[in-house]
Amino acid sequence: MNVNSLPKSHVQPRLVDSHAHLDDTAFDTDRDAMLARADAVGIEHIVVPATTAASWPVLRALCAHHANLHAAYGLHPMFMRAHVDEHLQNLPQWLSDHHAIAVGECGLDFFIDDSQPDRQRACFTRQLAIARELNLPVIIHARRALEEVIGHLRRVKDLHGVVHSFSGSREQASQLADLGFLVGIGGPVTHERARRLRATVADIPLDTLLLETDAPDQPGALHRGQRNEPAWLPDIARCIARLRDVDDAVIAVATTANARRLFRLPPG
């Protein structure tokens, strides 16, 4: 069965996009229109994580003008050349002063060239400690590094958050759940070739799932090669519903409740 070819439900349940980089320059020409399209399909909240310290003021200004956008601040492992010690030193105060809902995007990425693994580890470990000190959830990037990320979470303890763009196994999802972490599922699950991911998503407990687009990246199968955006989040919810053989509304209600609980979001 091709889950992407099934008709859309007439019901429009409210959804939360738990990860979208809406400050990206890819949206500079139509950001307001893009947000209007998201609202029109029932996206009630969007979590917008930072990548570098230079992006923090831009992100703050964006979220200040849109009540349903919520900022997370952190230092992404793919941009180690942009990070300096001062950024880590300033992060706790910035999080406290600017109503952050999470620390992130942070984590480990051993796929990129010149990954600087030791600097990545030091930066990630410090951000985990900051999250624990401030009692904030963590938004984690883990590419070719999931087992090591799980190891860090075991050592730091007393954390909660999400591993976004999750591509691991059911066992790894279970380990993360035991540590207080959810998994973010986005466009990749809609591609039929993602057999292991689809099998995992079909099987893991519903209270461990969040929906995300990772816009402008990782579009789903229906928008292959296009700029991704939050308005396409219902495609992901619909795909997961078909994989789990439940109504679309079941996925919407559960994942929205999960996001509200994790990020302490207000009702839509």
pLDDT tens-place string over residues 219-248: 999 999 999 999 999 999 999 999 999 999
Cβ–Cβ contacts within 10 Å for residue 94, how many? 17
139, 162 Cβ separation under 8 angstroms: yes
Alpha-carbon separation of residue 238 from 107, 118, 229, 252, 260 (angstroms): 29, 40, 16, 9, 20
Query: At 268, is the pLDDT very low, low, confident or very high (cuts 50, 70, 90)?
Result: low
Burial 2-22 (b: 16+ CB within 10 A, else e): ebeeeeeeeeebebbbbbbbb
Report, as an integer, the average pLDDT of 34-53. 98
CA dist., res. 161 & res. 137, Å (int) = 4
Query: At 2, is the pLDDT very low, low, confident or very high (cuts 50, 70, 90)?
Result: very low
Identify the bridge partners of residue 183 per DSSP, sorted by sequence position. Answer: 163, 209
pLDDT in tens, 118-148: 999 999 999 999 999 999 999 999 999 999 9
Cβ–Cβ contacts within 10 Å for residue 1, how many? 8
Continuous segment of H or E residues that includes residue 61: helix 56-64
pLDDT at 188: 98
pLDDT at 8: 44
pLDDT at 121: 97
Q: Give the total residue count for the chain.
A: 268
